[in-house]
Amino acid sequence: MMRRLPAKFGAESLLQVLDQIAKGSYDFVYVPHDKRKDRNLSLAFMNFVDHETAQKAFEFFRNVQHPSMGPSVRVSQADIQGLGNNLAYFLARFGLQEMNNPHAPMIFENGARCENILEAVKQHVSLELLVQAHSRMEVQLQKKTVTKRSAQRGGERTSQNRGRQALAPDAAQVCAPGSAVPCEKTSLNTGQMVIDPGDVAGDLDSSSQFFFQEEDGRVSFFL
Evaluate whether residue 34 is within a structural domain: yes
What's the CA gap between 191 and 56, in Å, rounded? Answer: 35
Question: Which residues, in sequence order, are bridge partners of residue 43?
Answer: 3
Evaluate whether residue 74 is within a structural domain: yes
Phi then psi for 99, rounded to 5 degrees?
Answer: -65, -20
pLDDT of residue 161: 59
Evaluate whether residue 41 is within a structural domain: yes
Evaluate whether residue 141 is within a structural domain: no
Positions in the chain whose pLDDT score sits under 70: 155-223
Residue 219's H or E segment, with its range, is strand 218-222
pLDDT of residue 175: 30
Number of helices (H), then strands (E), belonging to the chain: the values are 5, 10
pLDDT of residue 63: 86
Evaluate whether residue 181 is within a structural domain: no
Phi then psi for 158, rounded to 5 degrees?
Answer: -65, -40
Domain count, the chain: 1
Domain that holds residue 34: 2-123
Evaluate whether residue 159 is within a structural domain: no
pLDDT of residue 82: 92
What's the CA gap between 186 and 22, in Å, rounded? Answer: 49
pLDDT of residue 210: 42
Percent of the chain with pLDDT over 90: 29
Evaluate whether residue 83 is within a structural domain: yes
Q: What is the CATH number of the domain that holds 47?
A: 3.30.70.330
pLDDT of residue 190: 27
Evaluate whether residue 100 is within a structural domain: yes
- 166-181 tens-digit pLDDT: 433 333 333 333 333 3
The set of long-range contacts for 144-149, using a CB threshold of 8 Å and a minimum separation of 24, is 144/193, 144/195, 147/191, 147/192, 147/193, 148/190, 148/191
